[in-house]
Amino acid sequence: MTANFGLYGQTIVKDEFQYLNRTDKDVYEGFNFGAQLGLGIGYQFDERLGFGINLNVQSDFNSFETTSNSNLNDEQRHKSFTSLGIFATIKL
C-alpha cells in the first residue's frame, strides 16, 4: 500500500486563446496553491519487480484570475481533479 500527500504552487507563464477573428495572449495571471492526495496498492512479483495502481485527487485552494486588459472575465480553478494510474517498481 502506498500513500502520498503534498502541497503545490503553480503559475501560468504563457497562455494564448485563438478565435476566428482575434487572438488573446497572457489572459491569466498570479499564483495558485492547492493540495494532492494519492493512494495506491501494489504487488511485488519477485525481489526486483512490482506493479500497482494508484488514485490521485487534486484540488486548488484559490483561482487564477484574468488580467485587467483581457476580454474575458473568468477564473480558473480545479475544484476536484481525479486521476487513475499505474506504476512499476524495478530494483537495479
pLDDT digits 0-9 by tens, 17-75: 888 998 888 777 778 899 999 999 999 999 999 999 999 999 988 877 776 666 666 66
Distances (CA, A) of 63 to 2, 83, 86: 30, 20, 30
List pLDDT tens digits, range 74-90. Answer: 667 777 889 999 999 99
Determine the pLDDT at residue 70.
Answer: 66
Answer for the pair 28, 55: CB distance below 8 angstroms, yes or no.
no
For residue 40, the 8-state DSSP code is E
Cα distance between residue 80 and residue 8, in whole Å:
15
75 phi, psi to nearest 5 deg: -125, 150
Cα distance between residue 22 and residue 64, in whole Å:
22
Cα distance between residue 41 and residue 20, in whole Å:
47
